[in-house]
Structures are given as C-alpha cells and as structure tokens.
Structure 1
Amino acid sequence: MTTPTVLFVCVHNAGRSQMAAGWLRHLAGDRVEVLSAGSAPAGSVNPVAVEAMAEVGIDIASHQPRLLSDAAVEQSDVVVTMGCGDACPFHPGKRYEDWALDDPAGQGIEAVRPIRDEIRSRVERLLASLGVG
C-alpha cells in the first residue's frame, strides 16, 4: 500500500495547520506523509501553539511556515483547509476537508488548549478514514 500524503493549509501556517501536522506526525509516524503550508505564511510558528503542543510532548518549535504551492496540493491525497477561504487552490479528484476551528493567533494558552485538543480528535478521525491505525 502506498503512503497517503496529507496537506494541512491555513492562512499563516503558524498555528492550526502546524498543530495538525504535529499531531499527525506524532500519531501516524512514517505511515503518513505530512505537509503543511499557508497562503500568506507568517515569519514563525505561533509561540502559544508551540507551548500548547509541548504540553502534550510534541515539539513543533523548529518548524517553519511555508508558502502554499500547487505542487504540494498535487502530491497530496487529502487537503485539509482551516480558514484559508478562496486562497486555497482546488484540484479536481483530490479529497478536501474543511475544518472550522478557532484561530489561535493572538490567543492565550487557555484558549489554545481546546483548539489543540479538537485538532487531535479530528486527526484521529482522519487517520481512521485513511485506514491508518
């Protein structure tokens, strides 16, 4: 079986998409290829998102926001969007999911923890739908 590729996309690629990528790497290991990108990437990952993930033993501090490319969408089996609206490219035949999640930008740790936990639940459901235990 081929390894599925999942691309997480949000505007700044600094919070939600980075947390989702961190969860997927943590839960799936090398059974899934994980990509994340943003339509207008920030200069660095949101420090509160880094802190929230560190609380559950996942280090995303070294990750860098990346600019979304058509190539990343092309190579992905599943594209998960998180509030990037019309900036997300659409390619026929790709599986798309749109996850409506609060944006952690400008929020304190107390507000980001429930976003982190919701992302974990959604990543677990995504893995189940891909048949990756």
Structure 2
Amino acid sequence: MPETYQRADLTVDQQHALLTAARNLGERFAGTFSTETIERFLHTSYDQFAEKAAIPAFLPLLAERFARQRLTALARVEGADDGRPIVLFLCVHNAGRSQMAMGFFQHLAADHAVAWSGGSEFASEINSAAVASMAERGIDISAEFPKPWTEEIIRAADVVVTMGCGDACPVYPGKRYLDWELDDPAGKSTEDVRPIRDEIERRVRALLAELKVPVA
C-alpha cells in the first residue's frame, strides 16, 4: 500500500483520507479482492461523487462507503452468498422515494435481508422533507446519501424495485423487477410527503412478506 496517492486533482488531505479508506477496505476484503481491485473501486467511486459533492471534505468517506457496497456486491456475484435476499430500490435522484423505501426495509428486516438504493441522475443531497417524514416514524435516514448504481450492484440484487426512472432504469435479463408508481417527493413539504411515505411502507411490508423475511 503506498504512503499516499499521487493524483494532481487531490489535496494532500484527500490523498491521505483515501489512503486510510483503502486500508479500511483492504482489511474488510482481505483474501477476497486484491489491493489493485480495491483501489480501483475506491477511486472510481470517488470520481463518481466528485462532480456533485456538496462538501468536498466528505468525498473520501462517501467513496469508501460506496466502494464497500460495490465490493460486497461483487463478492456476492462471484459466489459469496450469505443467503439473505438483497433488494435494490431505484429512482431518479436517489434522494426521496428510494431512500425512504430502503429506510423502511432496513428498519423492518434488520439483519435478515439487505437493501441498497441508487438513482439514474443522483442528487447532491437527500431530500430534507423525506428525512423529516421518516423521522416521524422513528427512522433516521439523515446519514444516507444519493448515489448511482453500478453493474455489480444490480447483478447482486435479487429484486430491483424501480420508482419513476423509466427507461433510465437498467434492465438485466433474468432479474426480477417491480415497478412502483409513486409521486416524486421533490419540492414537496413534509406534510405532502407523508402519504408517499405511508404508501412506501405498505409496499415494503408486502414485499418483505412475499420474500418471507421476518419483520422486526
């Protein structure tokens, strides 16, 4: 592992932060992926967020979190299956609907299943009204962040739930898809988001029952 990353587009602090992230991921995926694979996923994840980051100082952390998810997905694709179903929620901005769906899924399923989310044109930050409406239900999604999807994430998912991304949503043969028609919470008040939130909860509960996932 190098002592720093020599990239002209990074500050010294960002280089050191990415080095720390690479070490963290190296420990997590030791024996599963090579250092080269881990660094490639980390750097491509960083580049995906670089143009939209509201706070550049958070970029290495976002890159590490997304690279961790992508590497977990790749391991699943390559045969490291722990038996838990994975559901991927996709919408346009990954700032409202898909984040609320993932929040409900994770809260209800606990460790019995896995939920991921992504957007076709992912936003720079999560919808504040979505955060507030979920907080009313005791679910904190404020630490989540909009993100794109990648091939390995889609391939690893057992079910892909789309919400308004239309033709922009990826289609893989043999993959199970569900399309949920839901209003977009973008620009809406917390009061107006509540009915959307409640409908998402209803659908998530129905999906968990169909997947035979115990609900907390």
TM-score category of the 2 structures, normalised to the smaller one: over 0.9
User: Highest Rg: 1 or 2?
Assistant: 2
| Partner AA of 1:57 in structure 2 | G
Aligned twin of 2:28: none
Opposite residue 45 of structure 1, the aligned amino acid is: I
Structure 2 partner of 1:93: 174
Equivalent position to 1:46, from 117, 127, 137: 127
Q: Match of 2:191?
A: 110
User: Which AA in structure 2 matches 1:99?
Assistant: W
Asked if 1:13 corresponds to 2:98, the answer is no
- Please, what is the CA RMSD of the aligned residues? 0.9
Residue 132 (structure 1) aligned with residue 210 (structure 2): no
1:44 partner letter: E
Task: Name whichever of 61-70 and 8-17 sits farther off.
Answer: 61-70
In structure 2, the partner of 1:68 is: 149
Larger relative helix fraction: 2
Structure 1 CA distance for aligned equivalents of residues 113 and 212 of structure 2: 11
Identity of aligned residues (%): 58
Say whether residues 1:81 and 2:81 are aligned partners: no
Which residue of the partner structure matches residue 35 of structure 1? 116
Counting matched residue pairs gives 133
Gapped runs of 5+ residues in structure 2?
Answer: 1-81
Displacement of 1:29: 0.5
| Letter aligned with residue 31 of structure 1 | H
Runs (5+) with no aligned partner, structure 1 = none
**Displacement after TM superposition at 1:57 (Å):** 0.4
How far did 1:94 drift? 1.1
RCO higher in structure (CA 8 A, sep ≥6): 1
* TM-score, normalisation: structure 2: 0.61
Amino acid corresponding to residue 142 of structure 2 in structure 1: A
Distance 1:129 1:70 in 2: 25
Structure that is richer in strand per residue: 1
User: Structure 1 length normalisation: TM-score?
Assistant: 0.98
